[in-house]
Amino acid sequence: QKEVEQNSGPLSVPEGAIASLNCTYSDRGSQSFFWYRQYSGKSPELIMSIYSNGDKEDGRFTAQLNKASQYVSLLIRDSQPSDSATYLCAVVGGYQKVTFGTGTKLQVIP
């Protein structure tokens, strides 16, 4: 079982729609959760962090965490073509190790 799992996509959504990106993790001792955005040919950029159960909103982005289900998601409202990128989920586990998923490629269609 992969430590951090993401659907590789591509996930295609029309401009203005809500994009929903999902991530599951295997380490129940995980403490911190992050979403990184990586444009093609560029390096990952941190866009959201979440540490406790529930929702965290930042502009058009909402991170959702459910530790009981070992599930973290990222919602992007009013998706724009500039949101087209690969989104990486990262989890800090019980041994303080950062583990990344393979990423979900998002395509926002104008």
DSSP 3: S
Q: Is 70 in the site for other proteins (CB under 8 A)?
A: no
Q: Using CB under 8 A, which residues numbered 28 to 57 contact other proteins? A: 32-34, 36, 42-46, 49
CB of 23 to other proteins, least distance (A): 12
DSSP of 23-91, one letter per residue?
Answer: EEES-TT--EEEEEEE-TTS--EEEEEE-SSEEEEETTEEEEEETTTTEEEEEESS--GGG-EEEEEEE
Single out the residue of 63, 76, 91, 106 in contact with other proteins (rule: CB under 8 A).
Answer: 91
The residues that touch other proteins, with contacts defined as CB under 8 A, are 4, 8, 32-34, 36, 42-46, 49, 88, 90-92, 95-103
